[in-house]
Every structure is written in structure tokens, then in C-alpha cells.
């Protein structure tokens, strides 16, 4: 997360050192874009700092607290991704293409699979039910249970820390694109 924090600081510093960037965003016609920019920057910083802090401490030894922490981590990643997408859109004028961001997609899908109506989910595919036990694991690896109609039960093992490390590189790439676009649009 320190890499994301670093590029966030570079974007922040560029915004505050560029008169043309500020003139663009502070124009009355750009009110929505400015609000989207600063809201995204706040969300990005808060999720980055929170995720970094939690990863350095790890999950609680109390399984009930760890269970809530896990969903907080997964939701914070989702919020961070949404903030990066919004920041990209407001600066570049186009949606962020995450086609090659495999870890990004895996984390998002994992959060939706395990927390998006896990008791009964069917979005055009087979009916699935997912469950995480109280002692699911940690950043090294965690397990959850998934039942798919017609396929039975599986117990996937996810190396969350490794997945996060890959995601951080993808997020950094997206944010480097934002900074590059700012430098081109508002020299």
C-alpha cells in the first residue's frame, strides 16, 4: 500500500503545484469534477492508510473480530478501486480499462462472491452459496466454502497477501496514468 500512498502524494502535490490544473477544477462549470476529484482522493488516502495499517497488524486473534475485519478489508479494497476509477475518469475523461488487471478483478470478484448475498446468489450462472468459517485464515492464506448447483462443494484457498501485492502494482499503474494525464493536460 505504500506504493499507492506514494503515487497518491505525487498526484496531490501536482494538483497543488499546477495553476492550470487548479484553474480547471476550480472553475464553476467543473464543480462536479472537482468534488469527484477531492472525494476520490480522500477515499483513496483513507483506504490506503487503513489497509496498510491493518496488514502490518494482521487479523485479530479473536475469530469474531477477525471475521468483521476481513469484510472491512474486502470492502476497503472495493472502495479504493472505485476511487481510482473515478479519479481516472475525472482526470482523463474516460473510464479506466482494467482488462489486464487480473488481481484487481480477482479481489473484486472474491468480495462479491463471498459477501454479495452469499446465502443465495445466481447472476445468470449456476446457483451458488458461500460460507466463511470463523477461523478462515489470514493474509498468508484463507479458505472459504462454495457450493455450486450441479458441481458440489469446494474449499478454495486464497493467498490474500500475494493477491494484494499483485493488485498494488496494478493500482499503481492506474494511478501513474492519472498523474501522466494531469501532466499532459495541465502542464
- Contact of 104 with 98, CB cutoff 8 Å: yes
**Residue reference for cell 471475521:** 67
- Please give the pLDDT value at position 126: 76
Q: State the average pLDDT over residues 75-98.
A: 97
pTM across the whole model: 0.92
Take residue 29 and report the three cell numbers written for it. Answer: 462549470
- Contact of 9 with 177, CB cutoff 8 Å: no
Q: Rounded CA gap, 8 and 29, in Å?
A: 25
Q: How many CB atoms lie within 10 A of CB 24?
A: 18
- Please give the pLDDT value at position 120: 66
- Please give the pLDDT value at position 135: 85
**More confident: 30 or 131:** 30
**More confident: 175 or 128:** 175
**pLDDT tens for residues 38-83?**
999 999 999 999 999 999 999 999 999 998 999 999 999 999 999 9
Q: State the average pLDDT over residues 3-32.
A: 97
- Please give the pLDDT value at position 133: 81
- Contact of 171 with 104, CB cutoff 8 Å: yes
DSSP string, 59-121: S-SSHHHHHHHHHHHHHHHHHHHHHHHHHHHHHHSS----TT-HHHHHHHHHHHHHHSSTTSB
- Please give the pLDDT value at position 131: 86
- Please give the pLDDT value at position 128: 82
**pLDDT tens for residues 129-181?**
888 888 889 999 999 999 888 899 999 999 999 999 999 999 999 999 999 99
Take residue 149 and report the three cell numbers written for it. Answer: 448447483
Amino acid at each position: 500500500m505504500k506504493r499507492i500512498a506514494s503515487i497518491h502524494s505525487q498526484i496531490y502535490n501536482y494538483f497543488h503545484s499546477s495553476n492550470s490544473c487548479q484553474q480547471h477544477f476550480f472553475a464553476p462549470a467543473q464543480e462536479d469534477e472537482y468534488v469527484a476529484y477531492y472525494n476520490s482522493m480522500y477515499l483513496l488516502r483513507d483506504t490506503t492508510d487503513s489497509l496498510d495499517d491493518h496488514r502490518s497488524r494482521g487479523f485479530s486473534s479473536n475469530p469474531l473480530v477477525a471475521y468483521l475485519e476481513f469484510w472491512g478489508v474486502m470492502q476497503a479494497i472495493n472502495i479504493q478501486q472505485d476511487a481510482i476509477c473515478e479519479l481516472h475518469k475525472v482526470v482523463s475523461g474516460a473510464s479506466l480499462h482494467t482488462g489486464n488487471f487480473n488481481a484487481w478483478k480477482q479481489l473484486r470478484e472474491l468480495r462479491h462472491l463471498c459477501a454479495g448475498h452469499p446465502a443465495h446468489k445466481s447472476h445468470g450462472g449456476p446457483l451458488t452459496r458461500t460460507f466463511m468459517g470463523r477461523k478462515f485464515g489470514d493474509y498468508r492464506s484463507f479458505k472459504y466454502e462454495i457450493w455450486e448447483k450441479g458441481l458440489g462443494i469446494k474449499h478454495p484457498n486464497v493467498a490474500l497477501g500475494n493477491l494484494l501485492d499483485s493488485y498494488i502494482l496494478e493500482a499503481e499503474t492506474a494511478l501513474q496514468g492519472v498523474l501522466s494525464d494531469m501532466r499532459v493536460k495541465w502542464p
